[in-house]
Amino acid sequence: MRGRSSRRIHALTTSPEFVDAFVESALPLSTRRALRRTSRMWRRKMEEFLTKRQTLVLREQDCTQADADFVLGPLRKRHGRELNLQLEGEGHVELFRLTEWLERHERKPQGPTWLHLVMGPCVTAPTEPNPTAAFYTGRAAATLTEARIQIDFDPAVIRAADVDVGSPHDEPPRLTMLTSDVKSGDPNQHRVKEELVRYLKPDDWRLIAGCHRHTAEVRVSKLKGDMCLDLSHVRLDDAGARWLGDHMNDIFYGGDRPLEHNWPLRLDLSYTVTDISCGVLPYLGSHHLRATKRIHTLYLRENSFGRHPAMMEALVAACKRDAFPVLKILRLDNTHLRDEDMEKLAPCFGPGGGLAEVELVDLDNNHLTRQGLASFLLFARKMRKLQRLEVEWNDLTLGDARKLAFWIVETAEWRDIRYVSTGYHPDEDQDERKSVQKLLRNAVKQRRQSWRWTQLAEHARALDAGRYYSTPTVGNTDDSSESD
């Protein structure tokens, strides 16, 4: 009886009438993608759905890399181009006519001429805020061999800020880039000028994020060669970041056994956080991006904690899930780190916080005062492997530096500390500054030698008591601390 019912259900679900009605129903793209992978019949039906349908409605929940590949994938095969996309987001609707769009922007097989590149049409962000339209326009541009992306700025804002965008003075300020330059993955190729970053609108970032996703893919493919995943200046949106993490998991976990020897040793996320995304930072150490266990150097410089509060939340969450168990070097310079930010991050430097084993902490060029430094020292007291602490060019006075020197000698357990630097204001007395620098150097020397003396003394007392006690490795007791 059960077998007869199963055969009846199978016959019903595979009947042409049922399949056609089911395909035409209001299914989300995620369900259509899942059905496409079940059998050849469903794959064919889904391709017919995209090639024969007049208009496909897409909303913000459909802005994932998998959905973009599903909808725009047929473009590479030169079919499905009659499809029109109705892109809805933030109360605005834009009709994206693929045929018309491709006829304007697709380059000829022989390649673009200089005149075509200069005078040809440009891919631009939607005139009204529409995340869905910006996302799919950017992904469509990234599928083309060559296209020209143009980002327009508010003339009054740019001229008031006296920023050079590179366009002639008689034209509205704009930024122009070729998709091939961005997608190449070459770090020396086109980068968005840092003085322009703050003037880019969210939809501008969504427009170029499609090309940056290709850039990230190229750099991941080179990972086996240099063991450094350099994503600096690669500004991904959330969809691209999720795709990149899953792609790396497939590389390192897709075989019979994990390829741990190919995991990255250094991760450079400088210049990656934007107004729309923190990039891969929220996924470090999670099931979306697991290959972080061998990272010993993490660069987060030139990302503003002040402008992007979610960045601190993502970093603290990664530390709590032990994303960096062997991390040695943490670069947080030029991140606009404030006292309230350090208050959130400081517990991570304590025992079990995820950063307690770090040997170098770089906090240069931030906005820390004595309060922020105190928050750090409260939890960093037991960082016994710490060797370098760099806090130059913060809002610390010479008095704060002197207190730090006393704290190092009297409270810290930094048994291998070698270098501590703090930033000073240029208008302070030069002789007093030199005196404080000397005090810090001697405090570092005293702290290291005190710990070595403690180890040697315990060894001597154990021998006097007739107990076996292995000779401690205390290193050189001479002053080996680095100078400023």
Which has the higher per-residue pLDDT, 56 or 256?
56
Rounded average pLDDT over 170-176? 77
pLDDT at 473: 59
**116 and 42 within one domain:** no
- Alpha carbon of residue 269 to chain centroid: 5
**121 and 74 within one domain:** yes
In a domain, 458, yes or no: no
Tens of pLDDT along 227-260? 888 999 999 999 999 999 888 887 777 655 556 6
Sequence-distant (6+) residues with CB within 8 A of 119 are none
Alpha-carbon span 148 to 66, nearest angstrom: 24
In a domain, 127, yes or no: yes
Sequence-distant (6+) residues with CB within 8 A of 310 are 278, 282
In a domain, 314, yes or no: no
pLDDT at 407: 95
**204 and 60 within one domain:** yes
**133 and 45 within one domain:** no
In a domain, 273, yes or no: no
**64 and 190 within one domain:** yes
Of the three residues 192, 221, 250, the one that is the final residue of a domain is: 221
By the 10 Å C-beta count (0-12 exposed, 13-18 middle, 19+ buried), 106 is classed as middle
Rounded average pLDDT over 107-128? 63
Counted domains in the chain = 2
In a domain, 200, yes or no: yes
Tens of pLDDT along 127-169? 889 999 999 999 998 888 788 888 888 888 777 777 777 666 6
CA distance readout (Å), 254 to 246, 341, 407: 10, 38, 50
pLDDT at 462: 74
Of the three residues 221, 246, 265, the one that is the final residue of a domain is: 221
Alpha-carbon span 205 to 380, nearest angstrom: 37
Q: Is 285 left (phi over 0), alpha (psi -120 to 50) or beta?
A: left
- For strands 174-178 and 148-152, give the pairing: antiparallel
Strand order in the sheet with 92-97: 55-58, 84-89, 92-97
Q: What are the phi and psi torsion angles at 361 (to 5°)?
A: -120, 120
In a domain, 308, yes or no: no
Structure tokens, 462 = 């154990």
Pick the range with the lowest mean pLDDT from 66-70, 98-102, 347-351.
Answer: 98-102
**20 and 76 within one domain:** no
**139 and 39 within one domain:** no
Q: Three-class SS of residue 325?
A: coil
Sequence-distant (6+) residues with CB within 8 A of 466 are none
Alpha-carbon span 124 to 464, nearest angstrom: 81
Domain assignment of residue 131, given as a range: 55-221
Alpha-carbon span 367 to 365, nearest angstrom: 7
Pick the range with the lowest mean pLDDT from 116-125, 177-186, 401-410, 421-430.
Answer: 116-125
CA distance readout (Å), 314 to 175, 274, 283, 287, 351: 31, 14, 8, 14, 20
In a domain, 105, yes or no: yes
